[in-house]
Chain A
Amino acid sequence: MKNHYQLLVIGAGPAGLAAAADASRLGLDVALVDEQKAPGGQIYRNVGSAREGVRTYLGKDYLRGKPLVEEFLQSGAIYINNASVWYLDERLETGLLIDGASHFITADRLILATGAQERPMPLPGWQLPGVMTAGAGQILLKSAAMIPNGRVILAGSGPLLLLIAWQYLRAGVKIDAIIDTTPWSSLPGALPYLPRALPAFDYLLKGLSFMLAIKKAGIPVYKAVVDLRAEGHESLESVSFTTGRGKGNERTKISIEAETLLLHQGVIPNLRLPLAAGCEVEWDAQQQSWKTPKDIWGQSSVDRVLVAGDCAGIVGARAGELQGRLCALQSAHQLQKIDLEQRDRVATRIKHSLKKHLSIRPFLDTLYPPARAYQLPEDETLVCRCEEVNAGQIRQAARMGCVGPNQVKAFTRCGMGPCQGCLCGSTVSALVADETGASMEQVGYFRVRPPFKPITLGELANT
């Protein structure tokens, strides 16, 4: 490992893999850094070691990752695995922690492809043992071939929930219920986006096929649910909720026993490294999240930094891969490996394909908006899991004059724990905006500071 590369790519998901592979083939001296042992990020986690049998329950979309990983491994790009990026600042010095040793690397260009995280879904009891994210369920499936052993309920909203339901069915899991928190009202709002989503017809078809499989399996599905709660003393024992208005316009309160509850409210960009590098971010009202504005080539507001994939704005795996390839072209052009004509020529097909994959997004985003109840939880619900600060305390801080999340943090400790606001940041900003009547842009977000991954004092002292 050197201490300087022409191009440093951070993140080995589809965007990063494609970016590094193409950049290397275009003649750039490129290194890809990732915290995991093997390439794939979260969506293609462990795909390199996946046996053929997993196709039956993980699906063919997952296996798309296999040739992509191969492409990267054959490309000549340097692969730095088991490396967490603990430091990055506006001078673009990147601090890596590998095997207990800290190294600093510089690069002429940086491509940030750090992906997404699950949108936090705070609800009463979400901190109970047994409550996890749908993504956690998928990681256990992909990396350990593990499935729930007792009663399991899936709750939330979004295509990923359908996906994991389908995957679980195929893996032999008996799902006790699927609780859909998507409000009834979302479909009319989403329909206008359907025509332009038709080029991505296969996404729609896939979604429908998942729904069909769920119906065929006879899994109880509750729609437009409100007032979802995880209940239990020392661990999850049951899940209660109120159903959407049925035929007689009534709502019913239901409680179902379960040991495992998987939650999902969509995914949001993991913006820490873009913010650390000084990239501007903006609020996307349709996706209800912050994102990194960029041009078609991935150019962020910082000269030497390009962003690709979900970390810039949620686009999905296929679109992320294509964005990574455009970043590679742009980097190669900026570093004088290819001229403008070649860049634009090669990009034509990629852009065309990208447009197709992006066309589904407005429809999906409007069809599956995050339910307000989990963005603005009840007072007693924990918002900060690390420091155990509840929504009521945050609302009170806002009433006492805190106009933004950083002031709220100072007074409540919310966001000061080890996760440094990953699980509470979006909720805090939403609560402050709601309480003060300010917009999300006015309220802002938590300031990010290093280390972005744990590092010991000894490791830092020995850099």
Chain B
Amino acid sequence: MRKTDLALTLLAAAGLSLAACSDRNSPEGQASATADAAAAVSETLPQALDNAAGLQTVAEALKETGIEGVFQEKASYTLIAPEDDAFAKLGDPGKQLTEADDHAALAALLKDHMLTGYMTPQDISAAIKSSKDGKVLISTLGGGTLTFTQAGGIVNVSAEDGTQASFDGDPVTGGSSIAIPVTGVLKKL
């Protein structure tokens, strides 16, 4: 084959490759579409919490208050999820809160444990490490602020009313949201 033919053939191949890069049917576009589709079909966070040990109380609370509905859409939330033991430590006031017919108080408690966006424990830890004063502040959907610090490899979180908790175990993911189990309820009863 003459040199001219070879050059033109190579040009054709290069041009076709460039055209394919902007095509959604390209391998890159298909991989991205697969990731998007995967995110769309996963179970919701309340469903995942229902199946996770030690988080039944908060899973039930999301359903009782109707807040589970927000996890059915594309929006992302991070739930700082008190474990069942944390609710049990509250005693009778905790039972009155979770078993009342009127769930307004329970909804307010949940909103004080919910953050906008998707944050993993690693994200929070990285932010603490790069902060000037070793703490980060995150606004809650209840209108308050949670403060996160780290000591001995454990992330601690405190609310404005002085209640505190620590991260405990792996996060639970569902849909576009994530729940981080914690050892305490971040609202004073």
The judgment on whether A and B are partners is no
